[in-house]
Amino acid sequence: MRKRGKIEGKYYIVIFFLVILVILGLLIYLVRDERRTSLIEQVLQDSILFVQKMVSAPIHFVTDKLSESKEKNDIYKKYKELQTRVEQVGSIETKNKELESELQEMKTLLELNQTLSESTPISASVITRNIDGWYQTITIDKGVQHGIAENMAVVTGKGMIGEVIQVNNFSSTVKLLTSVDENHKISVKIEGNEGYIYGLLSDYETGNQVYKIEGIAENTEIKEGASVVTTGLGNTYPSGILVGTVTQVKKDHFDLARTILVKPSVDFNEIRYVTVLKK
């Protein structure tokens, strides 16, 4: 009897590890970004987010009013700034025409899939963010019913913030650029002295809150403060969306290439309203 009990104990250990393996395998399948959400998930998420929106509406109303009154104090200053810009409109229009013809040439040369001007913007507001630490996502209040689909680029007035990874009927989940890693590199170009320098956004340093672009050739000259924009290569991000500005150019560990640190143009703590670029 004793021996039999011992054998059963061994089986339990094997079964336990098998169960763990099955659970891990299941989780690997379920946490993929490409996974399509089931109808039950969509309905549940939409309904809970609706309640969430209702509950947080009065709080947002009060905070919005407070920030509005703060902004009102600066309104005269902003008006003066706008007046100066209006005077510059004429020259900007001429420059625009020139740029448009250049853009057409570039598109033919680079075989770009799409540019910013070809996207239809859809405005959305953020219902919730995940601040648990690991998951850099936000949920917006527009979904399939509003024309949103997976892999669409999401921007704010200040620049690029991420892409849509999951769509429900009335809400969508956006993966932020802060979750960029070795497996999800984003093609960008940096303003250099002799035209643009192409690179890949490969990491986000949470401590310094900067993106990292690695593998830039040693002989290229990049100044601090240079703009970093998307290239339009790949299927998600249209060309020309601001990602950030260069804050530091340093040599890599092997002294062979340069690593560029880029300060995001968007304050990820202040994302309340976004624009989804419909392809």
Partner 1 sequence: MYAIIITIISFLLEGIFSFYISIFSHFWLPIPTLISVCFCHVYFLRNKNYIWYTFLTGVLYDIVYTNTLFLHGILFVCMGYIGKKMSQFISHTWYQFLVMTILLIGIYRLLSYIILIIIGYLHFNPSFFLSITLASFLWNITYSFLLYVIDHFYLKKFTTKRLF
Q: Answer yes or no whether residue 11 interacts with partner 1 by CB under 8 A.
A: no
Q: Answer yes or no whether residue 269 interacts with partner 1 by CB under 8 A.
A: yes
DSSP assignments along 120-141, one per residue: EEEEEEEEEE--SSS--EEEES
Q: Answer yes or no whether residue 111 interacts with partner 1 by CB under 8 A.
A: no
Burial per residue of 80-90, b for 16 or more beta-carbon CB atoms within 10 angstroms, e otherwise: eeeeeeeeeee
Q: Answer yes or no whether residue 259 interacts with partner 1 by CB under 8 A.
A: no
Q: Answer yes or no whether residue 265 interacts with partner 1 by CB under 8 A.
A: no
Using the minimum distance from each CB to partner 1, give the nearer residue, 134 or 254: 134
Q: Within 124-153, which residues bind partner 1 (CB under 8 A)?
A: 126-137, 139
- Type and span of the H or E element at 87: helix 75-87
Residue 83 and residue 12: Cα distance in Å, rounded? Answer: 77
- Type and span of the H or E element at 181: none
Least Å distance, CB 97 to partner 1, is: 40
Least Å distance, CB 44 to partner 1, is: 5
DSSP assignments along 211-241, one per residue: EEEEEEETT----TT-EEEE---SSSSPBT-
Least Å distance, CB 48 to partner 1, is: 5
Q: CB neighbours (10 Å) of residue 22?
A: 10
Q: Within 189-248, which residues bind partner 1 (CB under 8 A)?
A: 206-207, 209
- Site residues for partner 1 per CB under 8 A: 23-24, 26-28, 30-31, 33, 35, 41, 44-45, 48-49, 51-52, 55-56, 59-60, 63, 126-137, 139, 165-166, 173, 176, 178, 181-182, 206-207, 209, 268-269, 272
